[in-house]
Amino acid sequence: MSPFGTDLIYYKPWLYFVIIQTLGLTIFIIGMADNLNFYFRGRARSFRNSPGFAAMIKIFLHEVLLQRQLFTRGFFRWLNHILIFWGFLGLLSLSAIGVLLKIVPGDAAFYQFFTAGSGYLYYKFVGDLAGLMVLAGAVSALIGRLRAAPGSNIDTRFSDTAALGILVVLVLTGFMLESLRLAAAPGDPAAQYSFVANFMAGFIEGGQVPRFLMTAFWTFHATLNAVFVAYLPFSKLAHVFAAPAEIVINASEEQLRGDLYGYLR
């Protein structure tokens, strides 16, 4: 069974989903635009110089994908960030695929690959792996903030702690939804690829899963997702989106100064 055919198992209020996701995305765009406007205010002169594209690519690889500078500040801090960053990219990629599958024709090769072909297995495995990465990074970061001693260099603002808490609950409810789906429709040959949800489904009686509970859980998860997206620009997690753009744009300036990235010299 395709992960995009769960409407056959329980009811999903798609109109509500579209409304709240549109609202959350609108707030996200407005908030990020305000953040970027604040950052770029007074930096117009930097864009008068021709950008060094080779430097931009090198910094993108080292500082965005591998985050070398953060690694120098501490392994566990880097590990938490890299887990959330790469896990987030994985989940965003799957979300993009899900949107495309709502648009492309049912007989298209892309649609068939992800609903009936091996792409279905990749989708489920990457979904659980990315979710587990985000969960591990967020829980570790959350514990670090809660246990931080007064005067430490760890930012313990409530807004950032709340964002991590929402992220943890969001991932957990996502795993719960998939486990409920697997319990309600046993025999899915690809269940083993949803290794986290499949493990959780083993604790649920398949015949005793009320459909209204699955709908309620799905609605809660969708609502929490919209809340999280809307809240992102106002939390420290906004740098997951803003930092890569800032680092790459600053590449030429850093190359001229030569005071931050030694490998650009």
Mind listing the pLDDT tens digit for each residue in 49-69?
Answer: 555 667 667 777 777 777 777
Q: Among the listed ranges 33-37, 166-170, 260-264, which one has the minimum average pLDDT value?
A: 260-264
Residues 1, 202: contact at Cβ < 8 Å? Answer: no
* H or E element at residue 115: helix 109-115
* DSSP letters spanning 166-201: HHHHHHHHHHHHHHHHHHHSTT-TTGGGSHHHHHHH
| Torsion sign, CA atoms 245, 246, 248, 250 | positive
**CA-based nearest residue to 31, from 179, 254, 242:** 242
The label of the residue with tokens 């959780």 reads: 200
50-59, 90-99, 253-262 — most confident range: 90-99
| Mean pLDDT, range 168-183, rounded to an integer | 89
**CA-based nearest residue to 57, from 251, 189, 187:** 251
Residues 205, 183: contact at Cβ < 8 Å? Answer: yes
Mean pLDDT of the chain: 77
- Give me the torsion for CA of 92, 133, 240, 60, rounded to 10°: -90
pLDDT computed for residue 155 by the predictor: 57
Band of the pLDDT at 125, cuts 50, 70, 90? very high
Give the orientation angle of helix 239-249 with respect to helix 75-101, to 10 degrees. Answer: 100
Alpha-carbon Rg for the chain, nearest whole angstrom, is: 21
**Nearest 5°: CA angle at 173, between 172 and 174?**
90
Residue 48 has pLDDT above 50, yes or no: no
Which residue has better confidence, 205 or 20?
20
Band of the pLDDT at 6, cuts 50, 70, 90? low
Q: List C-alpha distances in Å: 191 to 144, 183, 210, 262.
A: 34, 10, 20, 47
pLDDT tens string 194-210: 899 988 888 876 556 77
Q: Among the listed ranges 22-31, 123-132, 168-177, 233-242, which one has the minimum average pLDDT value?
A: 233-242
Residue 5 has pLDDT above 60, yes or no: no
Percent of the chain with pLDDT over 90: 11
pLDDT tens string 208-249: 677 888 899 899 998 998 888 888 888 777 766 666 666 666
Please give the Cα distance from 73 to 111 (Å, whole number): 44
| Mean pLDDT, range 95-121, rounded to an integer | 84
Residues 184, 214: contact at Cβ < 8 Å? Answer: yes
Residues 115, 2: contact at Cβ < 8 Å? Answer: yes
Residues 191, 198: contact at Cβ < 8 Å? Answer: yes
pLDDT computed for residue 236 by the predictor: 72
The separation between the first and the last C-alpha atoms of the chain, rounded to the nearest angstrom, is 54
The label of the residue with tokens 């670090």 reads: 144
**Distance, C-alpha 140 to centroid of its chain:** 16
Return left, alpha or beta for 187; rule: phi > 0 is left, psi -120 to 50 is alpha, else beta.
left
Please give the Cα distance from 251 to 52 (Å, whole number): 7
